[in-house]
């Protein structure tokens, strides 16, 4: 049976928030901290901070690394723009690495070509719920002194060599937008084991105010010239997650295994229907990984469609290319190019692709209709 997105569990928690008369992050019903602590235990990370979107989580994760304007961050060429814009937003320069065309995941072999003396970090996206080859990526990162952000927005509870994704890099980010494995409508989180990254992240997402949890000591604001100050210790935004979102997110997390079971059932049906058909390739699974699909990616002849967002081809990146500066005015060095053709595998990889939505709310007849239409389109029925 398909599972509704929301149910009585969410309603019961929401009622507590409403009855408590406080819906902001620090409301007395305490759902945001409860959710953060539960998610930390679920994932296996010490510190979790929830924010108002996955995009905010990506920006907060970048900011937590203490990057300087003009620093370069390597990211895969195939990515939601919600991954590259946050890099631009903190004054850094996105540098696109080519991908493995089978998975559209950043190719460890493509990193070297992107390295310069300004490279500070790399964002790895576990695309569609497929774990990236983390050993090779981490080895390259460590060899070159790069920090690693794992973007797990599409890959809750997927595993790489027995470890959950989001526990391998320096900091991980998640989205709780409507389509993701769990949702509060909109929302996001960062997770890390490093208290300094956690502190910087929470300040960035709270306009510089250090309201840390986990019993970490908060500095006190001193008066200046006898005038009290509020305690904005660093630059930041208000990316706060509300109690209403926290209530829904906690109820969702408590049901996550049910959601996963339903997704696995849909994936089984899909794989059984498409396995062995001429010219059709199921998702490529790297050795020793357990994907947990968000969409299930299938490859076939070109006529089945074209999917995958290539960031540097977007209008705003073309504008940066022409102006030779980022949207924030940071100059682009000559070696940073956003020209068509810079990542040929990425551009090739989007052709002949169809992604099947395997969300727990999808009905089997809906999936079946998609499969039938796909087979006809691919000419394999």
Ligand X SMILES: *Cc1c(COP(=O)(O)O)cnc(C)c1O
- How many residues contact ligand X, by CB under 6 A? 15
Query: b/e map of 199-223 (b: 16 or more CB within 10 Å)?
Result: bbbbbbbbbbbbebebeeeeeeeee
- The SS3 assignment for 343 reads coil
DSSP state of 306: B
Q: Does 289 bind ligand X (CB under 6 A)?
A: no
Q: Does 129 bind ligand X (CB under 6 A)?
A: no
Q: For residues 53 and 192, which CB has a smaller minimum distance to ligand X in the complex?
A: 53
Question: Measured from the CB of residue 379, what is the shortest distance to ligand X in angstroms?
Answer: 31
Residues 81-100 within binding reach of ligand X (CB under 6 A): 82-83
Question: Measured from the CB of residue 61, what is the shortest distance to ligand X in angstroms?
Answer: 10
Q: Does 297 bind ligand X (CB under 6 A)?
A: no
What is the Cα–Cα distance from 101 to 170, expressed in whole angstroms?
Answer: 26
Q: How many CA atoms within 13 Å lie on the side-chain side of 309?
A: 14
Q: For residues 54 and 291, which CB has a smaller minimum distance to ligand X in the complex?
A: 54
Report H helices in 166-255: 195-204, 243-254
Among 10, 31, 45, 55, binds ligand X (CB under 6 A): 55
User: Comparing C-alpha atoms, which of 282, 248, 260, 276 is closest to residue 358?
Assistant: 260
Q: For residues 72 and 150, which CB has a smaller minimum distance to ligand X in the complex?
A: 150
Q: Does 153 bind ligand X (CB under 6 A)?
A: yes
Element (H, E) at 124: strand 119-125
Tokens of 220: 């006190």
Q: Does 58 bind ligand X (CB under 6 A)?
A: yes
What is the Cα–Cα distance from 283 to 80, expressed in whole angstroms?
Answer: 19
Among 27, 54, 94, 210, binds ligand X (CB under 6 A): 54
Interface segment toward ligand X; rule CB under 6 A; list 1-9, 90-98, 147-155, 204-212: 147-155
Question: Measured from the CB of residue 369, what is the shortest distance to ligand X in angstroms?
Answer: 25
Residues 183-242 within binding reach of ligand X (CB under 6 A): 186, 188
What is the Cα–Cα distance from 346 to 106, expressed in whole angstroms?
Answer: 9
Tokens of 67: 């990057």
Q: Does 80 bind ligand X (CB under 6 A)?
A: yes
Chain contacts with ligand X (rule: CB under 6 A): 53-55, 58, 80, 82-83, 125, 151, 153-154, 175, 177, 186, 188
């Amino acid at each position: 049976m398909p599972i509704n997105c929301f149910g009585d569990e969410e309603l019961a928690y929401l009622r507590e928030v409403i009855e408590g008369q406080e819906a902001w992050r620090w409301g007395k019903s305490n759902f945001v901290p409860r959710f953060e602590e539960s998610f930390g235990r679920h994932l296996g990370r010490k510190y979790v901070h929830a924010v108002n979107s996955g995009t905010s989580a990506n920006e907060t994760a970048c900011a937590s690394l203490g990057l300087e304007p003009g620093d370069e961050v390597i990211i895969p060429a195939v990515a939601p723009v919600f991954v590259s814009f946050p890099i631009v937003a903190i004054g850094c320069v996105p540098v696109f690495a080519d991908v493995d065309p089978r998975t559209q995941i950043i190719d460890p072999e493509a990193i070297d070509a992107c390295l310069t003396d300004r490279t500070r970090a790399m964002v790895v996206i576990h695309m569609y719920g497929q774990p990236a080859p983390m050993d090779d990526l981490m080895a390259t990162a460590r060899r070159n002194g790069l920090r690693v952000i794992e973007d797990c927005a599409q890959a809750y509870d997927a595993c790489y060599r027995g470890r959950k994704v989001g526990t391998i890099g320096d900091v991980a980010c998640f989205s709780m937008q409507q389509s993701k494995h769990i949702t509060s409508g909109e929302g996001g989180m960062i997770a890390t084991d490093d208290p300094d990254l956690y502190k910087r992240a929470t300040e960035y997402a709270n306009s510089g105010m250090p309201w840390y949890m986990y019993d970490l000591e908060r500095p006190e604001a001193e008066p200046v010239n006898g005038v009290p100050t509020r305690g904005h210790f660093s630059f930041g935004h208000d990316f706060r997650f509300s109690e209403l979102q926290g209530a829904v997110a906690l109820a969702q997390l408590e049901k996550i295994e049910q959601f996963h079971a339903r997704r696995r059932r849909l994936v089984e049906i899909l794989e059984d229907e498409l396995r062995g058909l001429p010219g059709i390739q199921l998702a490529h699974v790297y050795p020793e990984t357990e994907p947990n699909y968000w969409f299930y990616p299938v490859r076939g002849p070109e006529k089945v469609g074209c999917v995958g967002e290539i960031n540097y081809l977007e209008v705003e990146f073309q504008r940066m290319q022409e102006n030779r500066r980022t949207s924030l005015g940071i100059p682009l060095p000559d070696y940073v190019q956003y020209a068509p053709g810079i990542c040929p595998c990425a551009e090739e990889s989007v052709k002949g692709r169809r992604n099947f939505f395997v969300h727990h709310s999808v009905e089997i007849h809906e999936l079946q209709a998609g499969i039938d239409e796909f087979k006809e389109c691919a000419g394999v029925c």
